[in-house]
Amino acid sequence: MLKTSFHVTNILLIIFYLYPGAILGCYFYNDCNLQPSLTKDFIISSNHFFVFLIFGLIAFIAFSKEKKIIMVYVFFISIFLEIMHFFIPIRAFEIKDLFGNLIGVIISLIIFNSFNFWRKKYGLF
């Protein structure tokens, strides 16, 4: 079930990132150039942070036995998808988006490792 969730999330993430425009903007605002935002951006893009936080957690939980491989993949996809914005019409590469992606992955890895540490230390679950 978790691996299926990862694969579905991965496909949706790729579609949303590589679509030339904003799919959610088309749906919510009838404007494919307008990207909805969950919160205001600070130093990093909050949308990108939350997406990769959730995506990273799903990936690390679903593939906990293959942690090194999935970690490399999640970092790779977070960088690759943002770099692809150089080449996609209407999309633009932004360093704050890239940092949002990477920090989301890093925080998800910290949460996952912390949970596993406490689980093993105290015999939870």
pLDDT tens-digit map of 87-104:
988 888 889 999 999 999
In this prediction the pTM is: 0.83
pLDDT, tens digit, 9 for 90 and up, residues 14-57: 988 887 766 665 666 676 665 656 666 677 888 889 999 999 99
Task: Give the mean model confidence (pLDDT) for residues 73-92.
Answer: 91
DSSP H helices in 63-94: 67-83
Residue among 17, 3, 15, 12 nearest 97 (CA):
17
Nearest to 41 by CA among 33, 31, 50: 50
CB contact at 8 A, 25 and 33: yes
